[in-house]
Structure 1
């Protein structure tokens, strides 16, 4: 299915994924972050904080942020790493993962940048495929070391799910 790329008033470019039963997802190029996932009844399944700051250089609270190359404060980098505060690109050479019928997807890539090399001197490519099909949202991350030596990292997709009544959660 063709990509629907939208530029909003906040300066964020987002990709809108839709599928035939009516579910949808919105993915920001800033942070490679999913900020909306609606089911076929148009019900929002992800939580976005009312305290979210929708300005570049700030992490956006809610949705599904990408934490790389560090999760939490388990290292010397800023909490949850820098991937969620960088502008990603559409991946023009995505991995040939098999397509699924009636699936809408986008492939994003984040490559090491000069500003990242100052705090984390490693060269990498971080790819993320986001796919939407009936009742299902799939995120497939892949990290490629483009450096001359091995490195270690931590990674997380931190899901903020919307809950209408926390007392009903078990």
Structure 2
């Protein structure tokens, strides 16, 4: 056999494309879901831009959602992460928001899905997407007539949900698109899933000032130098001494379940309805309060003021 000096080289194999995050719009275009190549997932209802599910790669749900949560757009969703804007609770003495229903209109308005963006991690073998960011928008033009009448200001909101391999980031940009100044409050009402509330503790709120909305919503208290535990109905607004950059951690027994860091959200609301849950028509099962705790990052102490054309941004990262 003749040995040829120039043998044809083997054809180089075409590299397979890196795995990508899958984003789907379903349920008659009412929900947006995303799944990372590694298996983590998130689902957002366009009504309220409410996050209704967040699962790790093993499929374990991280959020608590009531079995009787109303998902048809007729009322706010009980569970997940609803959005509070432009008022926390009710504010009858604040003229601009006095006519609004509890927690404002963001959680009861239909948002627009603006699209997705992804990032790749060089640390993964396949170079696939390590996160996916989903953006949602709401403006004054999209409000119901009742909401426009109750809060007649021109605004624009962009809400971003970023699913990572071990975290969920939510952030909101608020813009005054009108010609006059207005004030607002904002909060991310996170319902975190736990196995047993009796062994749950919340650290990062030690020696912090707080208002107890159950016992005395007027006076300010200082929390003891130990983690917060839940032994009854709880509804407190804390201003952590460590500031937003210091994590607030939720532990179950000796195991850390969640860590929450905040950006420009100075307050943390801790809420559990305890046995009062039984009187809530959309709260189920009745004993579900044993499996959830709300640790809510917000700007709810006083008011944020935006002059014409100004913007404000705040957010949180929940990791596990």
TM-score by length of 2: 0.48
Partner of 1:5: 25
Q: What is the rounded CA distance, in whole Å, between the counterparts of 1:166 and 1:41 in structure 2? A: 23
Partner of 1:38: 55
Q: What is the rounded CA distance, in whole Å, between the counterparts of 1:100 and 1:138 in structure 2? A: 14
Deviation at 1:117, TM superposition (A): 1.8
Q: What is the rounded CA distance, in whole Å, between the counterparts of 2:151 and 2:74 in structure 1? A: 17
Q: Render the CA deviation track for 1:3-28: whole Å, top value 9, x for unaligned.
A: 311116xxx71111111221100011
Q: What is the rounded CA distance, in whole Å, between the counterparts of 2:118 and 2:61 in structure 1? A: 25
Task: Choose the corresponding residue for 1:150, options 181, 198, 219.
Answer: 181
Q: What is the rounded CA distance, in whole Å, between the counterparts of 2:188 and 2:110 in structure 1? A: 17
Name the SS for the 2:137 alignment partner: strand
Task: Choose the corresponding residue for 1:110, options 135, 138, 156.
Answer: 138
Partner of 2:71: 54
Contact 1:110 1:126 in 2 (8 A): yes
Name the SS for the 1:78 alignment partner: coil
Q: What is the rounded CA distance, in whole Å, between the counterparts of 2:193 and 2:131 in structure 1? A: 23
Q: What is the rounded CA distance, in whole Å, between the counterparts of 1:2 and 1:106 in structure 2? A: 11
1:140 and 2:171 correspond: yes
Q: What is the rounded CA distance, in whole Å, between the counterparts of 1:31 and 1:100 in structure 2? A: 26
- For structure 1, the residue ranges without an aligned partner over 5 or more in a row are none
Q: What is the rounded CA distance, in whole Å, between the counterparts of 2:73 and 2:172 in structure 1? A: 22
Q: What is the rounded CA distance, in whole Å, between the counterparts of 1:134 and 1:56 in structure 2? A: 30
Q: What is the rounded CA distance, in whole Å, between the counterparts of 2:153 and 2:132 in structure 1? A: 32
Deviation at 1:65, TM superposition (A): 0.2
- Structure holding more strand per residue: 2
Q: What is the rounded CA distance, in whole Å, between the counterparts of 2:70 and 2:196 in structure 1? A: 25
Deviation at 1:136, TM superposition (A): 0.8
Q: In angstroms, what is the RMSD of aligned CA positions?
A: 1.9
Deviation at 1:100, TM superposition (A): 3.5
Larger Rg: 2
Q: What is the rounded CA distance, in whole Å, between the counterparts of 1:118 and 1:32 in structure 2? A: 22
Structure with the bigger RCO (C-alpha within 8 Å, sep 6+) is 1
After the TM superposition, which parts of structure 1 deviate over 4 Å for at least 4 consecutive aligned residues? none
Name the SS for the 1:103 alignment partner: strand
